[in-house]
Copies of this chain bind each other. A is one copy, B any other.
Amino acid sequence: MQGEIKLGILGGGQLGRMLLQAGIDLNLYTLILDPDPEAPCQSLCNEFVVGSFADYDTVYAFGKKCNVVTIEIEHVNTAALLQLKQEGVHVFPEPEVIKIIQDKGLQKEFYKNNAIPTADFRLLQNKTELLEQADFLPAFQKLRTLGYDGRGVTRLTSPTDFEKGFEAPTVLEKLVDYDKELAVLVARNPNGEVSCFPAVELVFHPVHNLVDYLFSPAAISPEIAAQAQEIAKQVIQALNMVGLLAVEMFLTKEGEILVNEVAPRPHNSGHHTYKANLTSQFEQHLRAILNLPLGNTQGHSAAVMLNLLGEPGFSGLAQYEGLPEALAIPGVSIHLYGKKFTRPARKMGHVIITAATVAEATQKANKVKEVIKVKA
């Protein structure tokens, strides 16, 4: 704020890009670290450093140029972040928190140890151990580390599925018979102030396991909404973290809420906030990590968010079809990520549709879905 904040972000993808966009209001000096010289953040920061955020020396050297460091992806070198923290750099979320969240096994144990409701699970070392889990099916097997955007997850319904299981340390998680998937974004600043966004409902694409539709607010009772926010607060306080935390949850058919997984950063489940809430998730993350008072999270409009995924069968220089037709629908705004190349199911952007009610926004969203295509 004083012109002296040098904010470093590990990762230069779309989340970093939207953080930079929000950061323009706060007059920050910004640095980005990303291995791709053409990453979406490339032309929007004060310093763009090409390098691996997984490499100790690279992250350490990058962090020494900053006084605040944050992330837009979890797969970063936490040892370097720990060292930076010891040397006085403000690292939010804290390296210890990132370490827990990087490993779905540690994450699940953390929930268990902190009495946070979550689906039953078992930790497996290898495929041999998997073969003994017939009694635990149906279940999802998830790689403990480096899974991302639906990769590293497989569904095991019966022992015949074991052959497609992973030969690596995994979490085997009991399949939850859920009614809805919900998410609550919660933020906490170093003063200990905590604030939640209203709960949203996520509908995932059956094949890609990516968010297909997001509805805000979720169609749930005020009691369930309040309970979802309480659980999100419980998680961020138990983690003792600073920044924004996306808490994805299952609402079971019995009305129970179980935490699925969390991400300690802006998240796909909060994109609508830029157009539908008084404070966006990006501004909120910046307020939190800069120890500013948190913003008002109230929704001013109902919203639907659609991811714009690369059309199947097209790879190459991205071409967007139907944007003018979509923008002609009142309440529609488009957010492209500045990615040069598309490939099937790559996240290329998103669309936010605001309206007075979720039903009205959904009708418009279905039209948007028909007209917009990302091809090559």
Contacts and interface: CB of A to CB of B under 8 A. Distances in A.
A221 interface: no
A106 interface: no
A229 to B, nearest CB: 17
The 10 residue pairs across chains A and B that have the minimum distance between CB atoms: A27-B336, A293-B328, A300-B300, A25-B335, A293-B327, A43-B46, A296-B330, A21-B24, A27-B338, A292-B327
A333 B3 contact: no
Interface residues of A, number: 47
Interface of A: 1-3, 17-18, 20-21, 24-27, 30, 43-46, 275, 278-279, 283, 287, 291-293, 295-296, 300-301, 317-320, 323-324, 327-328, 330-331, 333-338, 340, 349, 354
A155 to B, nearest CB: 35
A354 B324 contact: no
9 contacts: A18-B24, A21-B24, A25-B336, A26-B336, A27-B336, A278-B354, A291-B324, A292-B327, A295-B333
Residue among A27, A295, A317, A323 facing the most chain B CB atoms (10 A cut-off): A27
Given A327-B293, A331-B296, A337-B27, A320 B278 contact: no
Given A279-B333, A295-B333, 19 more contacts: A1-B320, A2-B320, A21-B25, A25-B334, A25-B335, A25-B336, A26-B336, A27-B336, A27-B338, A30-B43, A43-B44, A43-B45, A275-B278, A278-B301, A278-B331, A292-B323, A293-B324, A293-B327, A293-B328
Contacts of A324: 291-293
Nearest to A354: B278
Contact of A3 (B45, B283, B317, B354): B317
A54 B333 CA distance: 35
A319 B2 contact: yes
Nearest to A318: B3
Nearest to A331: B296
A36 to B, nearest CB: 16
A300 B331 CA distance: 12
A294 to B, nearest CB: 9
A47 to B, nearest CB: 9
Nearest to A350: B25
A328 B25 CA distance: 16
Contacts of A349: 27
A278 B26 CA distance: 22
Nearest to A23: B21
Contacts of A3: 317-318, 340
